[in-house]
Structure 1
Amino acid sequence: MSFTPVIPMGGYAGWRFLNRTMEQQSASLSASPSLQRDMAYFRENIGSVTSAEELVQDYRLLRVSLTAFGLQDDLPNKYFIQRILDDGVVDDDALSNRLADKRYREFSEAFGFGTSLPPLSRLPGFADRILDRFQAQSFEQAVGEVDGDMRLALNAARELPELAAEGGKNSTLWFRIMGNTPLREVFETAFGLPSSVGTLDLDRQLGIFQERAEDMLGSSEISQFTDPDRMDELMRQFLARSQLNQLPTTTTSASIALVLLQGGG
């Protein structure tokens, strides 16, 4: 990818810079010839796809489709992806319903294979919806090549308010976050939790996440993340904690205090 985002610093200060310049930087990526070619190809050809097998056999269509859901690392795993699509999401034992990472379910649901009905890929407006996601994910991917924490923050800033706005039972929303690998990493880091917490019983994990949310954010309700100020506080906690985790063990207390102050600025 020829586009390289400008992120002059890490941490919360870098996040604020990225947010101020995101519209211009994202437009620069969208105007790049390679992205324009991918989007034109997808728009021209996706409507003729009638099966999961046809989709996975077309490298360019599959790459755009997977990237739109943050699953581009699975591009070589064609059999796995075809199974995800062919199973659909209706049956409880469908593969995407049994995976912890619910991005696969969202991907399968978006295309609508695995039923007797025509796939959703043939409906008007389908290409636009997928390409909107593709552009957003492509920008996040480019950002991630410069700073992985910024990519996680961008993903959370996009997905978490949408999830919070859906409503529903709070514990169900937490389980969805816990099953979404990038979102889970943001919360684990912000809350100072080790990745080994994922080995605990699910109900115990839920209790830990809710307790930490109460302690650090003042509420365990996912609905709070419809508020931009609450999202900003989560990003501040995540980026400050991530910077601390990256400091060498010989770092002085003064250096740690500086990182915390920068994170709270």
Structure 2
Amino acid sequence: MTSLPNPYLPDMATIVETVQETPNIKTFRVRLDSEARRKAFTFQPGQVGQLSVFGTGESTFVINSPPTRMDYLQFSVMRAGEVTAALHRLNAGDRIGVRAPLGNWFPYESMKGKDIVFIGGGIGMAPLRTLLLFMLDNRKDYGRIRLLYGARSPEDMAFKAELPEWLGRDDLETVLTIDREAPGWEHRVGLIPNVLREMAPPAGNAVAVTCGPPIMIKFTLQALKDLGFADGQIVTTLEKRMKCGVGLCGRCNIGEKYVCVDGPVFTYEQLKELPNEL
């Protein structure tokens, strides 16, 4: 009988590649050191992992590579504190700890046959990326797929190396936008909620999946409601103060829910039932 890995102990992993996405966002592609664990490791789109910088601490980040592409696990990290600053100092060949997978995932099974509208802002594109690539790798299972990705400026957009491919696909409608005009920018200019209203995706047989800064989410939710999306048709993902990752420390609780266990993925319908602590 094979025992499950101890969720309190990280697997050792090696960084195989890094990508400097923006001045303050760095992507890490990591591979578990144990061949047995690599072969046994599975996860679902939207699940998260804890990355450990030994001697500094650990923080939670979404696995933003899809389970259909398992050459490595990808995490994109915005530099915002002690642990993330320590991560940003690491490079290919350095070793870290990985505790994963944790939390729930996007309800991709119930999305089959539906049109999908992705709305990402800044680093909020990271969790959307895993579901987007998963759906593109299973394209026949889903209807029309639209992506609206925005940032303050071109320099603040992550995953730049992938944007030409997304823009060029016949089976994906991609709209890029920045908050204000910038030299050489050839795409939309405007705040994400305003551009979303202009796109006006039909709500009839659709699911909207959104992630980004809280102020963006607030006005994006209103735009989606104005476009006719019901609360249960809107899905988002949270990363609220997750620490232990197993629902023990209580740091990420919202009422009776724990983001690390009951989330990080919630429908807007579920969020409306929680105390207003976000």
TM-score, scaled to structure 2: 0.32
Query: With CA pairs under 8 Å and 6+ residues apart, which has the higher RCO, 1 or 2?
Result: 1
**More helix per residue: 1 or 2?**
1
**More strand per residue: 1 or 2?**
2
TM-score, scaled to structure 1: 0.33
